[in-house]
Amino acid sequence: MKTYTIHFIRHALTQGSIDGRYIGQTDEELCKEGIEQLEAMKKDYDYPYPDVVFTSSLKRCKQTASILYPDKNSIEMRGFDECDFGEFEGHTAAELEPYEEFSQWLSGGEDARPLNGESNSEFATRVCDCFIKTVDGMIKTGTKSAAIITHGGVIMSILAAFGVPELPMTEWLCPSACGYTVRITPSLWSRMKKFEVINEVPAEPLTASQEEMLWDYYSDLPEDDDFDWDISEEDLRV
């Protein structure tokens, strides 16, 4: 059975991350602590080595990619940029707490948005559409593995939408320079738009019982992977 592997990796620390600020689409670079932490983790742990590396368009993700994969030319994808927090950008939750617009956003549903920013539904649609094109493009071009170096909100949104086990966004929160490995089976992806979450990054294998639970989601699906993927290599760039 053909499978494809994608490693989601959250960018390393920025000063905004350390300060607890909403930095969203603010184009912050990695801070000194973030670079040192990432270099130490690369030395101490085994990061996956993919066929291709995708990043968001923001500096902190591109810098993370250049440290982890210095010999790879990463493909920049704006669809994997963090949420636009509008006028909340650069502020901490404590600073925003007195404002009614902030509490409305936190307690709101899909249509809630930061002041002059991107709504929850707009953000989820953008990143999920980008991910679907990425997966379909990998299958079309025979690209067996990829790393997507992106942001915490992007990873949580994609895993909540497509991941098995099916868990809410908050359950997929991961630290800086960490993430998850997922396995995509074309038959399951074609029929249900689902993938299996199989490891953490750096790797932490699932138990046998967890693997058995995941297998139940696709063991009865046909193994015919000859789908008509009408996608060009250019579709990898969105």
CB atoms within 10 A of CB 128: 18
What is the model's pLDDT at position 107?
A: 84
Domains of the chain: 4-84+119-236 (3.40.50.1240)
Give the three-state DSSP class for 195. Answer: strand
Instruction: Identify whether the C-beta of residue 55 lies closer than 8 Å to the C-beta of residue 149.
Output: yes
Kind plus residue range of the DSSP H or E element containing 57: none
Please give the pLDDT value at position 225: 43
Whether pLDDT at 92 is above 90: yes
Strand order in the sheet with 163-164: 75-76, 52-55, 145-150, 4-10, 179-184, 195-201, 163-164
Per-residue pLDDT tens for 15-66?
A: 999 999 999 999 999 999 999 999 999 999 999 999 999 999 999 999 999 9
Q: How many helices (H) and strands (E) does the chain have?
A: 9, 7
Whole-structure pTM value: 0.85
User: In DSSP terms, which residues pair with 148 in a beta bridge?
Assistant: 8, 54
Closest CA to 180 of 194, 166, 198, 207: 198
Closest CA relative to residue 187, chosen from 128, 139, 129, 130: 139
Residue-wise pLDDT for 97-122, tens only, equals: 999 999 989 887 888 999 999 999 99
